[in-house]
Amino acid sequence: FLFFTLLPSLLFPPTNLISTGSTGFLGSHVVQSLLEHNWVVRALIRQPPSTPSPKFSHLLRLPHQENLKLIQVDLMSNDADNLKHLREVFDGADTCFHVASPFFNQPKEDPEKELIEPAIRMTENVLKTAADVSSLKTVILTSSTAAVYVRPEGRVKGKRAGEGEGGEVEEDMWSDEAWMREKKLFYPLGKTKAEKWAWNYVGGGGEGE
């Protein structure tokens, strides 16, 4: 059974992949892992790749540089020209790892505009663009424990993570949005709302929450 499950990926492995959030901690490791599999990676970054920057210099030290292409994109803009550019970037790729999400310990002024709305808009732009590009067959959205564990009791099924039976995370568990707003926990709130949007969109809701 396992052989036949893996057979399609063995015969037709992904060759052109996209990674968002490529300069971040998790995104950098995604890019590194994909390059180690000798796959072609389009690493999306916010800075112009022609201008040296410490934001992405570590990516240029990874092995298999011949398979790495850095591409500047703005995942938060709904401008028509920007979305056209995004479709052009996605065209020809078959898989997208959506890792990007804004992060600040504490927003400077407006948490709704700095963390929550951008997290949702990034996910929206990636998923809608993917739906418009015929070559792209798979989107992998990275989640976070922030979308599950952040609740008044800090527990899942009455037990903390790692306490054994009863502490498992299930797909219908979410962090408490009202409580996160009350406690000004805006990063996990953004992650939770972005993932809910994604589930609703792919489930047929069309426009997410």
Mean pLDDT calculated for residue range 111-122:
92
Q: Could you tell me which residues come within 8 angstroms of residue 208 by beta carbon, excluding any fewer than 6 positions away?
A: 120, 124, 196, 197, 198, 200, 201
- Give the per-residue pLDDT at 5: 45
Helical axes 80-90 vs 117-132, angle rounded to 10°: 60
- Give the per-residue pLDDT at 103: 84
Mean pLDDT calculated for residue range 167-195:
88
Which tokens hold the place of 79?
Answer: 């401008």
Beta pairing partners, 68? 41
Position of tokens 């990874």? 62
- Give the per-residue pLDDT at 7: 47
Position of tokens 């040296």? 52
Q: What is the DSSP string of 139-176?
A: EEE---GGGTS-STT--BTTB-TTSSTT----TT----
Q: Please tell me the distance from the alpha carbon of residue 204 to that of residue 85, in angstroms, as a whole number.
A: 26
Other Cβ atoms within 10 Å of 168 Cβ, number:
11
- Does the pLDDT value for residue 20 go beyond 70? yes
- Give the per-residue pLDDT at 162: 47
Other Cβ atoms within 10 Å of 102 Cβ, number:
21
Mean pLDDT calculated for residue range 64-85:
96
For 122-171, write each residue's pLDDT tens digit. Answer: 999 999 999 999 999 999 999 888 898 888 876 555 555 544 455 667 77
Burial class (CB in 10 A: 0-12, 13-18, 19+), 17: buried
Position of tokens 């959205």? 141
- Give the per-residue pLDDT at 3: 42
Structural domains in the chain plus CATH codes: 14-150+186-205 (3.40.50.720)
Query: Could you tell me which of 130, 123, 126 has the C-alpha nearest to residue 194?
Result: 123
- Does the pLDDT value for residue 4 go beyond 50? no
For 194-207, write each residue's pLDDT tens digit. Answer: 999 999 998 866 55
Mean pLDDT calculated for residue range 60-70:
96
- Does the pLDDT value for residue 36 go beyond 60? yes
Global pTM reads 0.84
Query: Could you tell me which of 83, 99, 101, 80 has the C-alpha nearest to residue 91?
Result: 83
